[in-house]
A = this chain, B = another copy of it.
Amino acid sequence: MTEMLSARALAADIRSGRLTPLDVAERCAAAIAAREAEVGAFAALDLDGLRREAAAPGLGQTALAGLPVGIKDVLDTVDFPTRRGSPIFADHRPASDATVVRMVRRAGGLVPGKTETTELAFLEPARTRNPRDLTHTPGGSSAGSAAAVAAGMLPLALGTQTGGSVIRPASFCGVAGFKPSFKLIPTTGIKAFSWSLDTIGLFAAGVEDLAFAMGAITGRDFALAEEPGTPRIAVVDTVEGASASDAAHAALAEAARALAAAGLPVAAFTLPEAVQAANAAHALVQDFEAFLALADEWDRHRDQLSDLLRHHLGGAAAITPERYDEARRTARRARHALADSFAGFDAILTFSAPGIAPEGLATTGLSSFNRMWTLLGSPCVNVPGLTGEKGLPIGVQIVGRFGRDRAALETARLLERALS
């Protein structure tokens, strides 16, 4: 196992002159030489280009200090093909970079290549393997981004989450993952699956690395307070809780104990029914929109869709605007009810995934503990550090109040420290 690369530590070393952006590029290149053949995290890669860009003068003093950032292949890039995990786009080369790709570059980040995605960010697996155990899935849809960071091939990578596509692979691969509040990072230039849900997120070695990158990319204040007070933690076992493995339950309990031992008020909390209702509403919103967002692929390239996606969209075609509207109303009520619930606590601690990464590459696992939060727009952090069967990672999830992304990361860092 190659060691993971801390974006924050590398940037500090670059700024202080101990390292250059080119040194970091070479470190990534070495890890890629060691692991990429077996992991398969990249859909496109240009290490010579990375080295050339890393040599640019002044790069080390930028916000991202010339660190390489992997870009999930559903995000448009001019410099790389953008295949979106689909044969329909085998030869596709966008005319413009996605906004977030430009934000990375404006912040002084480098783009070494594109990371593998499941087909159009849905469920048909990518070729990527889990760097923690190659016989297990890395999860999806942001498979390559999670795997590249876990394997120490990159310090940072962008993913997207519509159901559970950031938090789930982060949990399976044992990396820190962040799905920000809805709309915090613009989605212009994403291949849309569901415009109400598609959210751009981030993978990194640890929580501080996520905060560092969020601050650099968005230009917002993500400096984590050294003494963030004592947030009150609600331990939430959702309606899906019964589907979590014993190991997942043990991890959640251990995380709760660690937070309590660190002096934080921790208490079990049952989400109001109005919030739980968002769980079932998610599929209606997602699928109604997917049948429209992927209208061109359905209408003109149906034979090039996987059986899985074709079957799913075929079902989605039957959702009426009335049912969609009702699901959106359910979501709005759930958002208000969750905001009310937050009067009693500051952060939620819950499962990131139902267990360790499933064996084999046939599925990418379930988004049971993610999709509700995606619909609610809440900031979610996967905190790594715990393990289950075979010593494979099981993450736990901190869910924060909508729009309070820094506070969510501060609580996640408290947990990360409590677990280490």
Contact = CB atoms under 8 A, between A and B. Distances in A.
Interface of A: 78, 89, 92, 95-97, 99, 102-103, 105-106, 186-189, 192, 195, 218-220, 289, 292-293, 295-297, 299-300, 320-321
Contacts of A106: 295, 299
Contacts of A97: 295-296, 299-300
Given A186-B292, A321-B218, A299 B102 contact: yes
A295 B99 contact: yes
A300 B187 CA distance: 19
B195 A299 contact: no
B188 A105 contact: no
Given A106-B299, A218-B321, A219-B321, 11 more contacts: A96-B296, A96-B297, A97-B296, A97-B300, A99-B292, A99-B295, A99-B296, A102-B292, A186-B292, A188-B293, A219-B320
A188 B293 CA distance: 6
A292 B289 CA distance: 24
Interface pairs A-B: 4 shortest CB-CB: A102-B295, A96-B296, A97-B296, A188-B192
A323 to B, nearest CB: 12
Given A186-B195, A186-B289, A103 B220 contact: no
A295 B195 contact: no
Contact of A188 (B89, B186, B195): B195
Nearest to A403: B325
19 contacts: A78-B300, A89-B95, A92-B95, A96-B296, A96-B297, A97-B296, A99-B292, A99-B293, A99-B295, A99-B296, A102-B292, A102-B295, A102-B296, A106-B299, A186-B292, A186-B293, A187-B195, A219-B320, A220-B321
A236 B190 CA distance: 40
Nearest to A94: B95
A103 B295 contact: yes
